[in-house]
Amino acid sequence: MKNLIVILSLIFIVTFMSCKKEDKSPFGSPVKFNLTVPLNYDYFTEIDSFAKKINAPVDSRMTSVNFSNATNGLIPGKNYKIKIFPILEETSFEDCVIFLRKQNAIMVGAPGLILALYLRKSEFPTDIAVFSFDEISALWKDNNGFPNIPGAQIKSHTDRYGYDVRFDFKPYYKEDFLEPGQALLCFTNK
């Protein structure tokens, strides 16, 4: 009788453990690299000056004026650890922000994205739009009043005008999401 109870207990435990849902993250393993902010870095003009140097077409939305309120300015001479997390399954913007906070991310928005592209473009995945989140109040608002999350995509080939970078923007709707084929940029203190 004792042996039967032990066997039944073991069967129950094995069955329960196999039925338990695996907690799967919508974020893949990140590309990691370090970045040192140049000593002559100027937060207030950086987007305008560096955006011209990364082989991207002029985009009237990606300007220093539009993204002048990043939550965290990058400090000249400081080292940062950068991670680019691929999106494996649809995940809401809110979940992206929660994930970034769990990573102890520094919200840098467009200035961080442009600086990382300028200094470490070769580290970015190709043909994947990489988005750089910030607090909603710091994001540029489009003509409809929606905050926009800035992103950029390195193309595996140049377009007909010779550009290999394309800027991308996603209006921040609470119910919207990032999807596979996109990625999340994360700056942290080194």
Burial 77-93 (b: 16+ CB within 10 A, else e): eeebebbbbbbeeebeb
**Pairing of the two strands 129-131 and 182-189:** parallel
Beta strands, E only, 87-173: 91-92, 129-131, 148-154, 165-171
pLDDT tens digits, residue range 11-21?
Answer: 544 444 444 44
- Rounded to two decimals, the pTM is 0.82
pLDDT in tens, 85-134: 999 999 999 899 999 999 999 999 999 999 999 999 999 999 999 999 99
